[in-house]
Amino acid sequence: MSWDETAVLAAVRGHEKYFEAETGKIICRTDGTNGWDKQGTRDRFLKIKMPVSEIEKTLNDLIMHQPLKGGQ
């Protein structure tokens, strides 16, 4: 898993094809742990919607893409 590339994929192409978005609110506790409040409305948590291998292939194809010479 590579969360940086996954976040960029969702931001640029939209999450709908790849992920379901659960609305809630992240809770940062004083002991350094995190939690999730399902009643919140501020944040979204992405849950995988398609096989990981398909998302992995999409990311690898994009990372390995060679632009055409001269920007064509």
Contact between residue 20 and residue 46 where contact means Cβ atoms under 8 Å apart: yes
Q: What per-residue confidence (pLDDT) applies to 71?
A: 61
Q: Where are the domains of the chain?
A: 3-71
pLDDT tens per residue, range 29-65: 999 999 999 999 999 989 999 999 999 999 999 988 8
Higher pLDDT, 66 or 26: 26
Sequence-ordered strand ranges (E) for 8-72: 19-28, 34-37, 43-48
The Cα angle at residue 10 between residues 40 and 69, in degrees rounded to 5: 160
Q: What per-residue confidence (pLDDT) applies to 58?
A: 93
Q: How confident is the model at residue 1 (pLDDT cuts 50, 70, 90)?
A: low
pTM score, two decimals?
Answer: 0.69
